[in-house]
A and B are shown apart, each in its own frame.
Chain A
């Protein structure tokens, strides 16, 4: 990148952290991103609604999409990434069609969340934080979702499942398979 002077070596590039499984984001996907930008760009504080729109539409926010947003809003991309990386509900990696969020708070833990996690991992054959190869399911932790009365609880996208036992896990999953 900066050749000429042999005294200066720059081989040790620090690679960007976000390495998506898609090496480049295809044009049709970016077209969807552009239409979401177009919907919101005139509103005050457009960044959040645009990012939420992209997250909802694609299930994640690819790096190329962040560049599009940055350009459209005349913001440096580090600011866009700053916001994306701050909120846990924005994802910089592709997720499954169904995102399973397991509550990691104390009440669910006491009521046996660990066994539910073990069963989910076994049934889906992935670890927490991973995505199934067919991109159907993601497994992740969430903070308290406010339904401690039915602990242990999980959320599958927007649906809540409470009072779970390991035996019930396959039944819950079958709803989405």
Chain B
């Protein structure tokens, strides 16, 4: 490994050749501020916030794009550097609305934090401000171009991680705007509403559609029986939004806090995750035994579903017909549960707490009203829920741990791991093995399908049948798998695909920041949740067994088809034509 040695602020630093000044400084524990920079994804040097002095250079250099050179002398903190950074920030602020107090990203905004740390008390430049229409055309994501600093981090994630390319810079100079083609709304683009752009947006230019008011109204309505479900990934992320360390497991506090908001029942999406394993597991077995379409691909992730509908509509038959756990929950809450509790289903109001912006879109799909009502009434992202907790003045970390309500609060570890990439696969394998072989599975941890590698493959011996499986997360990796299916190279039986990096724990509705390191901590937490559960296999969930006994009869039965399965839509590309 060739190295270079340079001095940064009089510290000698030796780094691998090709390392930028910015990364070299970070390795040495010297922090250079950045705004447009996103490691490995968006390295443009355009915002000029990372300017440093390099001895002998004609002018200040952007540390994020300048390679460290042998013998280089870098100063990251001198009067000219501070002045230049300040000027750059002032110029950005001169075209930014001063709406910090009312902004959805207030106190969690990179631009605000930079202005604060540079002590900017006045912006010397006054002039015209860009005026752009607010794009709230989509059910999931709001685009406010007036708050955009044109860093292009959203474009980089959409293009390089998700390969969706729904947005790009349009026009030039002052008129530049990051938008779908022809500056249309996101609803008209091939946007899958994954919300990864909202995670990397440094300001309030891209954010989740805020539906809190609907939930407050429902909670205040005495006629409504308001039930809430919490997605697997939220129990290891809500804590972050409430000021706790990344990877904090807060299941008990989450339940307690939801009760304090006034929900009539606090249920768990993990319950229908277990149910998904039953339905999807039997569907897989059925397909293998009857020569059905293989490989079968999971259908829990609504961003992934919209992606395949747009980009691979001819391969929709590969999708499992199972609804996502969120939608199974909604359909059962307004049928089985309402019946059991003796409540008019018209009065049952279902709120979902999801790590996901695309879930809002999913809840609004035509197919998702098999109970005779909108199966799920409102979807809140983790971020929105944290705002409700703050509004209610809850001391979240100090709350006593409470238990979920029966029956939809009885769950297994197999369901919890749905929140991490590979989790659905692992849960399915645990059940498939035992159902097919009739033997008890000794080693429950399928390490080969865990972790942050983009595409994971394994062959699992299930009672003499070698089951070939693959697990992919991010749509970029999903695309690679789909191309292999299209060309006939893929010989898998079962594939798990999750839209977001790391799976749902890295979803577009999760607390900001959500970076690689934080994703890894949440994943570790979710496997900790699993390992501490008494029940760790979906088919052992007694409430699921009771549901089949009293209501559904059997997996893939008539009622299941009616309530728990769905169909997909072939979507055209570029509907804005």
Contacts and interface: CB of A to CB of B under 8 A. Distances in A.
Given A8-B360, A10-B139, A13-B137, A3 B366 contact: yes
A163 interface: no
A82 B369 contact: no
A66 B376 CA distance: 39
A14 B365 contact: no
A13 B185 contact: yes
Given A5-B377, A10-B137, A70 B574 contact: yes
Contacts of A81: 168, 170, 181-182
A147 to B, nearest CB: 24
A16 B137 contact: no
B181 A14 contact: no
A80 B180 CA distance: 11
Interface in B176-197: 179-185, 187-190
A4 B374 contact: yes
A14 to B, nearest CB: 3
Nearest to B165: A76
Given A4-B369, A8-B139, A78 B168 contact: yes
A5 B179 contact: no
Interface in A109-147: none
A78 B187 contact: no
Contacts of A3: 364, 366
Interface string B148-177: 000000000000000001111111100000
B463 to A, nearest CB: 42
Nearest to A81: B181
Nearest to A6: B374
B133 interface: yes
Given A4-B368, A8-B139, A8-B360, A77 B181 contact: yes
Contacts of B170: 78, 81-82, 85
A78 B167 contact: yes
A64 interface: yes
Interface string B450-466: 00000000000000000
Contacts, number: 109
Interface in A66-91: 66-67, 70, 76-82, 85-86
Contacts of B181: 16, 66, 70, 76-78, 80-81
B137 A14 contact: yes
Contact of B171 (A7, A76, A86): A86
Contacts of A66: 181-182
A2 B376 CA distance: 14
A4 B165 contact: no
Contact of B168 (A1, A12, A79): A79
B136 interface: yes
Specify the main secondary structure of chain B where it touches its partner.
loop
A76 B187 CA distance: 16
A13 B184 CA distance: 8
A15 B576 CA distance: 9
A82 B137 contact: no
Interface in A24-82: 63-64, 66-67, 70, 76-82
B182 A18 contact: yes
A177 interface: no
Contacts of A1: 187
A7 B377 contact: yes
Contacts of B2: none
Contacts of B530: none
A5 B369 contact: yes
A17 interface: yes
B324 to A, nearest CB: 15
Nearest to A70: B574
B202 to A, nearest CB: 21
A12 B180 CA distance: 16
Contacts of B190: 76
B186 to A, nearest CB: 8
A78 to B, nearest CB: 4
A67 B577 contact: yes
B177 to A, nearest CB: 9
A117 B167 CA distance: 38
A70 B214 CA distance: 40
Contacts of A16: 181-184, 188, 576
A1 B569 CA distance: 13
Interface-centre pick from B136, B172, B189, B577 (highest chain A CB count, 10 A):
B577
Interface string B53-78: 00000000000000000000000000
Interface in B476-498: none
B378 interface: yes
Contacts of A18: 182-183
Contacts of A76: 165-166, 168, 181, 190, 574
Contact of B182 (A2, A13, A63): A63
Contacts of A13: 137, 185, 187-188
Given A80-B181, A81-B170, A2 B361 contact: yes
A10 B168 CA distance: 23
Contacts of A6: 374
18 contacts: A4-B366, A7-B364, A8-B364, A10-B138, A10-B139, A13-B137, A13-B187, A14-B137, A16-B181, A16-B184, A16-B188, A16-B576, A64-B577, A76-B168, A77-B576, A78-B167, A85-B170, A86-B171
Given A5-B376, A15-B185, 17 more contacts: A4-B365, A4-B368, A6-B374, A8-B363, A8-B364, A10-B138, A10-B187, A13-B185, A13-B188, A14-B183, A14-B187, A63-B182, A63-B577, A67-B577, A78-B181, A79-B168, A81-B182
Interface of A: 1-8, 10, 12-18, 63-64, 66-67, 70, 76-82, 85-86
Enumerate the 5 nearest inter-chain pairs by beta-carbon distance, A residue then B residue, closest first: A14-B185, A16-B182, A77-B181, A78-B181, A17-B183
Interface of B: 133, 135-139, 165-172, 179-185, 187-190, 211, 214, 360-361, 363-369, 374, 376-378, 574, 576-577
